[in-house]
Amino acid sequence: MFKHAQLLAFVAVVLASLASSAPGLGAECLDVKIPDSVKTGGNDLVLNGLGIRKATFLNVKVYVAGLYLPQKSGDAGKIIGSNKPWQLVLRFVRDVDASDIRDAWEEGFKKNAADKLAALQPRIETLKARMADFKEGQYLSFTDDPAKGIAVDVNGASGAAIEGADFANALLSIWLGREPPNEDLKSGLLGGKCG
């Protein structure tokens, strides 16, 4: 009986060890599963939060966004001004035309970049030129490496990084700034409820 108990204890320890070393399953919102961490450019980033982008007065759900940071934070100002790596992943839950995405970037930068808009405009145009039509289930990600700039990944296709801390801060301000597309998107990315 004693050996049987020892064997069960050993199996329990091994299973607990495997469970703690396995990558986390992450979070889920609108049936979109997002990993709880990513590794990018040698940096380990953790999921800070998930939010839903809603459009029009009908609150049409467009994408689920996941924000990854070196460590969790609920302070938008500190996140934007930190000059640390981050990644924002947008998983589309409906089809969206490239022209609608371009218009959204233009509006987001105008609302949140204020007096820096003129200096940012050439890089905003570079970003807009990389946009494509998105189908439900596809993704768009932005990865900020402060030493290199913003890497833009459109369903696995990426180009040269868009340089400048000013651009990185303005881009992230679209979601975390004073006028996000919708407040619950910002709240979710800062660790609140995805909804």
The reported pLDDT for the residue numbered 120 is 97
The reported pLDDT for the residue numbered 159 is 86
Of the candidates 167, 125, 123, 124, the residue with the CA atom closest to the CA atom of residue 145: 167
With cut-offs at 50, 70 and 90, classify the pLDDT of residue 25.
low
Q: Is 150 helix (H, G, I), strand (E, B) or coil?
A: strand
Question: What's the average model confidence in pLDDT over 43-48?
Answer: 96
Question: How confident is the model over 54-89, as pLDDT tens digits?
Answer: 998 888 999 999 999 999 999 999 999 999 999 999
Residue 188 has pLDDT above 60, yes or no: yes
Residue 11 has pLDDT above 60, yes or no: no
CA 133/CA 98 separation, integer angstroms: 4
